[in-house]
Chain A
Amino acid sequence: MMLRKLLGAKGYKAVKNGIWSNQPVFSMVLGICSALAVTNRVSNAIAMGAGVTFVLIATSLVISPLRALIPLRARIITYMITIASFVTIVDRFLKAFYPGISEAIGPYVGLIITNCIIMGRAEAFYIQNNISHSVLDALSNGIGYSYALISIAIVRELLGFGTLLGVRVMPTGWTNWVVMTLAPGAFFLLGIFLWVTRTAADIEPRARE
Protein backbone atom coordinates (compact mmCIF):
# COMPACT_ATOMS: atom_id res chain seq x y z
CA MET A 1 0.00 0.00 0.00
CA MET A 2 2.98 2.26 0.62
CA LEU A 3 3.87 1.75 -3.02
CA ARG A 4 0.39 2.73 -4.13
CA LYS A 5 0.59 6.02 -2.22
CA LEU A 6 4.05 6.71 -3.54
CA LEU A 7 3.22 6.17 -7.21
CA GLY A 8 -0.39 7.36 -7.38
CA ALA A 9 -3.25 5.22 -8.68
CA LYS A 10 -2.19 5.34 -12.31
CA GLY A 11 1.48 4.69 -11.71
CA TYR A 12 0.62 1.79 -9.42
CA LYS A 13 -1.61 0.28 -12.09
CA ALA A 14 1.17 0.59 -14.69
CA VAL A 15 3.60 -1.21 -12.40
CA LYS A 16 1.14 -3.96 -11.50
CA ASN A 17 0.22 -4.51 -15.16
CA GLY A 18 3.83 -4.78 -16.27
CA ILE A 19 5.01 -7.10 -13.53
CA TRP A 20 1.96 -9.27 -13.00
CA SER A 21 -1.48 -8.80 -14.64
CA ASN A 22 -0.27 -8.10 -18.17
CA GLN A 23 3.21 -9.56 -17.79
CA PRO A 24 4.62 -9.43 -21.34
CA VAL A 25 5.86 -13.00 -21.79
CA PHE A 26 3.55 -15.31 -19.87
CA SER A 27 0.35 -13.29 -19.99
CA MET A 28 0.50 -11.40 -23.30
CA VAL A 29 2.78 -13.94 -25.07
CA LEU A 30 4.94 -11.20 -26.62
CA GLY A 31 8.67 -11.18 -27.27
CA ILE A 32 8.69 -14.96 -27.51
CA CYS A 33 11.53 -15.26 -30.01
CA SER A 34 14.13 -13.88 -27.65
CA ALA A 35 12.53 -15.60 -24.66
CA LEU A 36 13.15 -18.89 -26.44
CA ALA A 37 16.41 -18.22 -28.21
CA VAL A 38 18.69 -16.67 -25.59
CA THR A 39 17.55 -18.56 -22.50
CA ASN A 40 19.99 -21.46 -22.74
CA ARG A 41 22.26 -19.72 -20.22
CA VAL A 42 21.35 -17.40 -17.34
CA SER A 43 24.03 -14.84 -18.26
CA ASN A 44 22.55 -14.45 -21.76
CA ALA A 45 19.07 -14.02 -20.29
CA ILE A 46 20.30 -11.31 -17.93
CA ALA A 47 22.03 -9.46 -20.78
CA MET A 48 18.94 -9.69 -22.97
CA GLY A 49 16.62 -8.59 -20.14
CA ALA A 50 18.84 -5.62 -19.35
CA GLY A 51 19.09 -4.69 -23.03
CA VAL A 52 15.34 -4.77 -23.57
CA THR A 53 14.71 -2.83 -20.34
CA PHE A 54 17.17 -0.16 -21.45
CA VAL A 55 15.57 0.13 -24.90
CA LEU A 56 12.08 0.28 -23.36
CA ILE A 57 13.02 3.10 -21.00
CA ALA A 58 14.97 5.03 -23.63
CA THR A 59 12.11 4.71 -26.12
CA SER A 60 9.60 5.92 -23.55
CA LEU A 61 11.86 8.91 -22.83
CA VAL A 62 11.78 9.86 -26.52
CA ILE A 63 8.25 8.98 -27.58
CA SER A 64 6.34 10.25 -24.56
CA PRO A 65 7.58 13.88 -24.57
CA LEU A 66 7.24 14.04 -28.37
CA ARG A 67 3.78 12.49 -28.46
CA ALA A 68 2.05 15.75 -29.41
CA LEU A 69 4.45 16.29 -32.33
CA ILE A 70 4.44 12.82 -33.91
CA PRO A 71 1.98 12.72 -36.82
CA LEU A 72 -0.49 9.86 -36.50
CA ARG A 73 0.35 8.29 -39.85
CA ALA A 74 4.10 8.33 -39.30
CA ARG A 75 4.07 6.99 -35.77
CA ILE A 76 5.03 3.37 -36.53
CA ILE A 77 8.12 4.40 -38.49
CA THR A 78 9.00 6.86 -35.72
CA TYR A 79 8.93 4.04 -33.18
CA MET A 80 11.03 1.85 -35.42
CA ILE A 81 13.76 4.40 -35.99
CA THR A 82 13.87 5.29 -32.29
CA ILE A 83 14.04 1.64 -31.26
CA ALA A 84 16.62 0.77 -33.92
CA SER A 85 18.90 3.61 -32.77
CA PHE A 86 18.87 2.47 -29.15
CA VAL A 87 19.34 -1.16 -30.15
CA THR A 88 22.47 -0.11 -32.04
CA ILE A 89 23.73 1.43 -28.79
CA VAL A 90 23.05 -1.80 -26.87
CA ASP A 91 24.78 -3.85 -29.55
CA ARG A 92 27.89 -1.65 -29.53
CA PHE A 93 27.96 -1.63 -25.72
CA LEU A 94 27.84 -5.43 -25.51
CA LYS A 95 30.49 -5.78 -28.21
CA ALA A 96 32.81 -3.42 -26.36
CA PHE A 97 32.38 -4.57 -22.76
CA TYR A 98 30.99 -8.12 -22.89
CA PRO A 99 32.37 -9.67 -26.09
CA GLY A 100 31.62 -13.20 -24.82
CA ILE A 101 27.93 -12.54 -24.38
CA SER A 102 27.79 -10.53 -27.59
CA GLU A 103 29.22 -13.55 -29.41
CA ALA A 104 26.72 -15.92 -27.78
CA ILE A 105 23.53 -13.98 -28.46
CA GLY A 106 24.86 -12.37 -31.67
CA PRO A 107 22.06 -11.50 -34.07
CA TYR A 108 19.39 -11.70 -31.37
CA VAL A 109 20.53 -8.32 -30.02
CA GLY A 110 19.61 -6.74 -33.36
CA LEU A 111 16.30 -8.52 -33.21
CA ILE A 112 15.29 -6.50 -30.14
CA ILE A 113 14.06 -4.06 -32.81
CA THR A 114 11.29 -6.43 -33.82
CA ASN A 115 10.57 -7.47 -30.25
CA CYS A 116 6.84 -6.79 -30.15
CA ILE A 117 6.94 -5.72 -26.49
CA ILE A 118 8.64 -2.42 -27.28
CA MET A 119 6.44 -1.56 -30.27
CA GLY A 120 3.42 -2.69 -28.29
CA ARG A 121 4.18 -0.53 -25.26
CA ALA A 122 4.99 2.50 -27.45
CA GLU A 123 1.69 2.15 -29.29
CA ALA A 124 -0.42 1.28 -26.27
CA PHE A 125 1.08 3.50 -23.60
CA TYR A 126 3.85 6.01 -24.38
CA ILE A 127 1.98 7.75 -27.17
CA GLN A 128 -0.90 8.55 -24.79
CA ASN A 129 0.67 9.11 -21.41
CA ASN A 130 3.00 11.56 -19.73
CA ILE A 131 6.68 10.91 -19.27
CA SER A 132 6.78 9.78 -15.63
CA HIS A 133 4.03 7.20 -16.11
CA SER A 134 5.64 6.03 -19.34
CA VAL A 135 9.01 5.48 -17.67
CA LEU A 136 7.32 3.56 -14.85
CA ASP A 137 5.49 1.44 -17.40
CA ALA A 138 8.73 0.82 -19.30
CA LEU A 139 10.60 -0.15 -16.15
CA SER A 140 7.93 -2.55 -14.92
CA ASN A 141 7.52 -4.20 -18.32
CA GLY A 142 11.29 -4.55 -18.51
CA ILE A 143 11.33 -6.21 -15.10
CA GLY A 144 8.42 -8.46 -16.07
CA TYR A 145 10.20 -9.51 -19.25
CA SER A 146 13.56 -10.02 -17.51
CA TYR A 147 12.29 -12.23 -14.72
CA ALA A 148 10.38 -14.38 -17.22
CA LEU A 149 13.57 -14.87 -19.24
CA ILE A 150 15.74 -15.52 -16.21
CA SER A 151 13.35 -18.07 -14.73
CA ILE A 152 13.25 -20.02 -18.00
CA ALA A 153 17.03 -19.76 -18.28
CA ILE A 154 17.60 -21.07 -14.75
CA VAL A 155 15.73 -24.29 -15.55
CA ARG A 156 17.37 -24.70 -18.96
CA GLU A 157 20.93 -24.08 -17.77
CA LEU A 158 20.46 -26.26 -14.71
CA LEU A 159 19.12 -29.23 -16.67
CA GLY A 160 21.06 -28.70 -19.88
CA PHE A 161 24.54 -27.89 -18.59
CA GLY A 162 24.27 -28.71 -14.87
CA THR A 163 25.49 -25.21 -14.05
CA LEU A 164 24.13 -21.83 -12.93
CA LEU A 165 25.86 -18.71 -14.27
CA GLY A 166 28.69 -21.02 -15.28
CA VAL A 167 29.17 -22.45 -11.78
CA ARG A 168 28.64 -26.21 -11.52
CA VAL A 169 25.80 -27.02 -9.10
CA MET A 170 24.64 -30.47 -10.13
CA PRO A 171 26.36 -33.51 -8.55
CA THR A 172 29.11 -35.18 -10.58
CA GLY A 173 26.89 -38.11 -11.60
CA TRP A 174 24.48 -35.73 -13.34
CA THR A 175 23.82 -36.41 -17.02
CA ASN A 176 23.13 -33.24 -18.99
CA TRP A 177 19.75 -33.08 -20.74
CA VAL A 178 21.14 -31.98 -24.07
CA VAL A 179 17.67 -31.39 -25.50
CA MET A 180 17.19 -28.53 -23.00
CA THR A 181 20.02 -26.58 -24.63
CA LEU A 182 18.47 -27.02 -28.10
CA ALA A 183 15.35 -25.53 -29.63
CA PRO A 184 12.87 -28.30 -28.70
CA GLY A 185 13.70 -27.94 -25.00
CA ALA A 186 12.97 -24.22 -25.24
CA PHE A 187 9.59 -24.87 -26.83
CA PHE A 188 8.60 -27.51 -24.28
CA LEU A 189 9.71 -25.44 -21.32
CA LEU A 190 7.89 -22.30 -22.46
CA GLY A 191 4.79 -24.44 -23.08
CA ILE A 192 4.99 -25.75 -19.53
CA PHE A 193 5.62 -22.27 -18.09
CA LEU A 194 2.58 -20.94 -19.95
CA TRP A 195 0.50 -23.85 -18.71
CA VAL A 196 1.50 -23.29 -15.07
CA THR A 197 1.14 -19.50 -15.07
CA ARG A 198 -2.17 -19.57 -16.92
CA THR A 199 -3.61 -22.18 -14.61
CA ALA A 200 -2.41 -20.15 -11.62
CA ALA A 201 -3.89 -16.93 -13.03
CA ASP A 202 -7.17 -18.73 -13.61
CA ILE A 203 -7.33 -20.13 -10.07
CA GLU A 204 -6.42 -16.85 -8.40
CA PRO A 205 -9.53 -14.77 -9.20
CA ARG A 206 -11.81 -17.63 -8.21
CA ALA A 207 -10.08 -18.09 -4.88
CA ARG A 208 -10.62 -14.43 -4.10
CA GLU A 209 -14.39 -14.55 -4.59
Chain B
Amino acid sequence: MAGLLTILVAAILTHNIALTYLLGMCPFISLSRSLKTAAGMGMAVIFVITLTAAIDWPICHLILVPAGSELVYYIVFIIVIAASVQLVEMIMERFSPILQAAFGIFLPLITVNCAVLAVSLFMVLRDYSYIETLFFAFGSAVGWALAITVVAAINEKLKLIGDIPKGLRGPGIIMIIAGIIALAFLGFGGMVSIQ
Protein backbone atom coordinates (compact mmCIF):
# COMPACT_ATOMS: atom_id res chain seq x y z
CA MET B 1 0.00 0.00 0.00
CA ALA B 2 2.84 2.38 0.88
CA GLY B 3 4.36 1.72 -2.53
CA LEU B 4 1.15 2.69 -4.27
CA LEU B 5 0.87 5.91 -2.32
CA THR B 6 4.47 6.74 -3.17
CA ILE B 7 3.76 6.28 -6.85
CA LEU B 8 0.68 8.47 -6.62
CA VAL B 9 2.36 11.34 -4.78
CA ALA B 10 5.48 11.13 -6.91
CA ALA B 11 3.45 11.24 -10.11
CA ILE B 12 1.55 14.31 -8.94
CA LEU B 13 4.32 16.33 -7.34
CA THR B 14 7.93 15.25 -7.67
CA HIS B 15 7.75 13.61 -11.09
CA ASN B 16 5.05 15.84 -12.53
CA ILE B 17 4.51 14.85 -16.14
CA ALA B 18 4.21 18.43 -17.39
CA LEU B 19 6.79 20.18 -15.25
CA THR B 20 9.47 17.48 -14.93
CA TYR B 21 9.06 15.42 -18.08
CA LEU B 22 7.88 18.38 -20.18
CA LEU B 23 5.05 16.47 -21.80
CA GLY B 24 1.67 17.60 -23.10
CA MET B 25 2.98 21.03 -23.97
CA CYS B 26 0.90 21.77 -27.08
CA PRO B 27 -2.47 21.96 -25.27
CA PHE B 28 -0.60 23.51 -22.37
CA ILE B 29 0.25 26.52 -24.51
CA SER B 30 -2.97 26.82 -26.47
CA LEU B 31 -5.39 26.28 -23.56
CA SER B 32 -3.79 28.01 -20.60
CA ARG B 33 -5.15 31.41 -21.61
CA SER B 34 -8.21 31.04 -19.39
CA LEU B 35 -8.76 29.17 -16.16
CA LYS B 36 -12.09 27.70 -17.25
CA THR B 37 -10.83 25.99 -20.40
CA ALA B 38 -7.71 24.82 -18.59
CA ALA B 39 -9.76 23.19 -15.85
CA GLY B 40 -12.08 21.55 -18.44
CA MET B 41 -9.14 20.15 -20.37
CA GLY B 42 -7.58 18.96 -17.12
CA MET B 43 -10.69 16.96 -16.22
CA ALA B 44 -10.89 15.43 -19.69
CA VAL B 45 -7.22 14.46 -19.57
CA ILE B 46 -7.57 12.80 -16.14
CA PHE B 47 -10.40 10.70 -17.50
CA VAL B 48 -8.75 9.69 -20.77
CA ILE B 49 -5.28 8.95 -19.34
CA THR B 50 -6.67 6.68 -16.63
CA LEU B 51 -8.92 4.93 -19.14
CA THR B 52 -6.26 4.35 -21.80
CA ALA B 53 -3.70 3.11 -19.28
CA ALA B 54 -6.30 0.69 -17.93
CA ILE B 55 -6.88 -0.63 -21.45
CA ASP B 56 -3.26 -0.56 -22.61
CA TRP B 57 -1.84 -2.62 -19.73
CA PRO B 58 -3.87 -5.80 -20.44
CA ILE B 59 -3.29 -5.44 -24.18
CA CYS B 60 0.43 -5.09 -23.59
CA HIS B 61 0.92 -7.83 -21.00
CA LEU B 62 -1.73 -10.33 -22.07
CA ILE B 63 -1.47 -10.07 -25.85
CA LEU B 64 1.69 -8.32 -27.07
CA VAL B 65 4.27 -9.76 -24.67
CA PRO B 66 3.10 -13.42 -24.89
CA ALA B 67 2.93 -13.07 -28.67
CA GLY B 68 6.48 -11.66 -28.70
CA SER B 69 5.40 -8.65 -30.73
CA GLU B 70 6.69 -5.82 -28.55
CA LEU B 71 7.76 -4.14 -31.79
CA VAL B 72 4.28 -2.84 -32.48
CA TYR B 73 3.74 -1.15 -29.08
CA TYR B 74 3.60 2.31 -30.58
CA ILE B 75 1.07 1.48 -33.25
CA VAL B 76 -1.19 -0.43 -30.88
CA PHE B 77 -1.11 2.23 -28.16
CA ILE B 78 -1.86 5.10 -30.49
CA ILE B 79 -4.80 3.22 -32.00
CA VAL B 80 -6.15 2.43 -28.52
CA ILE B 81 -5.91 6.09 -27.58
CA ALA B 82 -7.58 7.33 -30.76
CA ALA B 83 -10.31 4.71 -30.50
CA SER B 84 -11.06 5.23 -26.81
CA VAL B 85 -11.25 8.99 -27.28
CA GLN B 86 -13.70 8.47 -30.12
CA LEU B 87 -15.70 6.03 -28.00
CA VAL B 88 -15.87 8.32 -24.99
CA GLU B 89 -17.02 11.10 -27.26
CA MET B 90 -19.82 8.97 -28.71
CA ILE B 91 -20.97 7.69 -25.30
CA MET B 92 -21.02 11.20 -23.92
CA GLU B 93 -22.98 12.52 -26.84
CA ARG B 94 -25.59 9.83 -26.39
CA PHE B 95 -25.96 9.70 -22.61
CA SER B 96 -24.71 12.87 -21.03
CA PRO B 97 -25.19 16.10 -22.95
CA ILE B 98 -24.10 18.05 -19.85
CA LEU B 99 -20.69 16.37 -19.72
CA GLN B 100 -20.48 16.69 -23.49
CA ALA B 101 -21.03 20.43 -23.23
CA ALA B 102 -18.50 20.70 -20.42
CA PHE B 103 -15.54 18.98 -22.04
CA GLY B 104 -16.67 17.58 -25.36
CA ILE B 105 -14.65 20.09 -27.33
CA PHE B 106 -11.42 19.04 -25.62
CA LEU B 107 -11.70 15.35 -26.44
CA PRO B 108 -10.50 15.40 -30.07
CA LEU B 109 -7.48 17.42 -28.94
CA ILE B 110 -6.47 14.75 -26.45
CA THR B 111 -5.44 12.25 -29.12
CA VAL B 112 -2.41 14.39 -29.90
CA ASN B 113 -1.65 15.17 -26.25
CA CYS B 114 1.68 13.43 -25.83
CA ALA B 115 1.12 13.00 -22.08
CA VAL B 116 -1.47 10.30 -22.83
CA LEU B 117 0.88 8.21 -24.95
CA ALA B 118 3.74 8.91 -22.56
CA VAL B 119 1.91 7.41 -19.58
CA SER B 120 1.45 4.15 -21.50
CA LEU B 121 5.10 4.15 -22.57
CA PHE B 122 6.40 4.82 -19.05
CA MET B 123 4.17 2.02 -17.79
CA VAL B 124 5.95 -0.45 -20.09
CA LEU B 125 9.38 1.02 -19.41
CA ARG B 126 9.04 0.82 -15.63
CA ASP B 127 7.36 -2.58 -15.53
CA TYR B 128 4.43 -1.51 -13.37
CA SER B 129 1.84 -4.03 -12.23
CA TYR B 130 -1.80 -3.38 -13.10
CA ILE B 131 -2.67 -1.63 -9.83
CA GLU B 132 0.54 0.40 -9.92
CA THR B 133 -0.28 1.43 -13.48
CA LEU B 134 -3.68 2.71 -12.45
CA PHE B 135 -2.22 4.76 -9.59
CA PHE B 136 0.58 6.06 -11.77
CA ALA B 137 -1.78 7.01 -14.62
CA PHE B 138 -4.25 8.73 -12.35
CA GLY B 139 -1.48 10.57 -10.48
CA SER B 140 0.23 11.71 -13.67
CA ALA B 141 -3.04 13.00 -15.06
CA VAL B 142 -3.88 14.86 -11.86
CA GLY B 143 -0.38 16.34 -11.90
CA TRP B 144 -0.83 17.52 -15.47
CA ALA B 145 -4.22 19.04 -14.68
CA LEU B 146 -2.76 20.72 -11.59
CA ALA B 147 0.08 22.24 -13.60
CA ILE B 148 -2.12 23.59 -16.41
CA THR B 149 -4.63 25.00 -13.92
CA VAL B 150 -1.99 26.83 -11.89
CA VAL B 151 -0.31 28.26 -14.98
CA ALA B 152 -3.66 29.33 -16.46
CA ALA B 153 -4.69 31.04 -13.24
CA ILE B 154 -1.43 33.01 -13.08
CA ASN B 155 -1.68 33.86 -16.77
CA GLU B 156 -5.22 35.14 -16.33
CA LYS B 157 -4.21 37.45 -13.49
CA LEU B 158 -1.17 38.60 -15.41
CA LYS B 159 -3.35 39.70 -18.31
CA LEU B 160 -5.13 42.15 -15.98
CA ILE B 161 -1.85 43.95 -15.38
CA GLY B 162 -1.21 43.90 -19.12
CA ASP B 163 2.39 45.06 -19.02
CA ILE B 164 3.99 42.16 -20.88
CA PRO B 165 6.55 42.98 -23.62
CA LYS B 166 5.02 42.47 -27.06
CA GLY B 167 7.30 39.65 -28.22
CA LEU B 168 6.71 37.73 -25.02
CA ARG B 169 2.89 37.70 -25.15
CA GLY B 170 1.15 34.38 -25.77
CA PRO B 171 3.40 31.32 -25.71
CA GLY B 172 6.49 33.17 -24.47
CA ILE B 173 5.04 34.27 -21.16
CA ILE B 174 3.43 30.86 -20.59
CA MET B 175 6.90 29.31 -20.89
CA ILE B 176 8.29 31.73 -18.31
CA ILE B 177 5.41 31.10 -15.88
CA ALA B 178 5.76 27.34 -16.35
CA GLY B 179 9.49 27.69 -15.69
CA ILE B 180 8.86 29.43 -12.38
CA ILE B 181 6.25 26.84 -11.35
CA ALA B 182 8.64 24.04 -12.35
CA LEU B 183 11.29 25.67 -10.19
CA ALA B 184 8.83 25.72 -7.30
CA PHE B 185 7.99 22.05 -7.89
CA LEU B 186 11.68 21.19 -7.58
CA GLY B 187 11.15 22.04 -3.93
CA PHE B 188 9.12 18.85 -3.54
CA GLY B 189 12.22 16.98 -4.71
CA GLY B 190 13.28 15.12 -1.59
CA MET B 191 9.79 14.03 -0.60
CA VAL B 192 9.38 10.79 -2.50
CA SER B 193 11.12 9.23 -5.43
CA ILE B 194 10.24 6.54 -7.94
CA GLN B 195 12.08 4.77 -10.68
A residues within 8 Å of B by Cβ? 29-30, 32-33, 36-37, 76-77, 80-81, 84-85, 87-88, 91-92, 106-107, 110-111, 113-116, 119, 179, 182-188, 190-191, 194-199, 202
A88 near B72 with CB under 8 A, answer yes
Selected from A30, A33, A81, A191, the residue in CB contact (under 8 A) with B23 is A33
A191-B121 in contact given A85-B75, A199-B166 (Cβ < 8 Å): no
Q: Mark B83-127, 1 if CB is under 8 A from A, else 0.
A: 000000000000000000000000000011110111001100100
Write the nearest CB–CB distance from B85 to chain A, whole angstroms.
Answer: 11
B22 near A88 with CB under 8 A, answer no
B25 near A84 with CB under 8 A, answer no
Interface residues on B, range: 35 or more
Selected from A76, A111, A182, A190, the residue in CB contact (under 8 A) with B175 is A190
Tell me the total A-B contact number using a CB cutoff of 8 A: 121
Write the nearest CB–CB distance from B132 to chain A, whole angstroms.
Answer: 17
Selected from B23, B117, B186, the residue in CB contact (under 8 A) with A184 is B186
A194-B186 in contact given A76-B82, A81-B79 (Cβ < 8 Å): no
B19 near A111 with CB under 8 A, answer no
Complex interface: chain A residues within 8 A of B25 (CB) = 32-33, 36
Which residue of the partner chain B has the closest CB to A32?
B25
A110-B74 in contact given A77-B79, A184-B182, A191-B179 (Cβ < 8 Å): yes
Q: How far is the CA of A110 from the CA of B73 in the complex (A)?
A: 9
A113 near B117 with CB under 8 A, answer yes
B74 near A88 with CB under 8 A, answer yes
Which residue of the partner chain B has the closest CB to A120?
B112
A-B contact pairs, 19 of them (CB 8 A): A33-B24, A36-B22, A36-B25, A81-B78, A81-B79, A88-B71, A92-B71, A107-B118, A107-B122, A113-B74, A114-B112, A119-B112, A182-B182, A184-B180, A186-B22, A187-B176, A191-B172, A191-B179, A199-B165
Complex interface: chain A residues within 8 A of B179 (CB) = 184-188, 191
A188 near B175 with CB under 8 A, answer yes
With most chain A CB atoms within 10 A of its CB, the pick from B73, B74, B172 is B74
A183-B182 in contact given A29-B171, A107-B122, A198-B172 (Cβ < 8 Å): yes
Extra contacts besides A81-B78, A84-B75 (6): CB < 8 Å: A33-B22, A84-B78, A85-B75, A88-B72, A191-B173, A199-B167
Complex interface: chain A residues within 8 A of B114 (CB) = 33, 111, 114-115
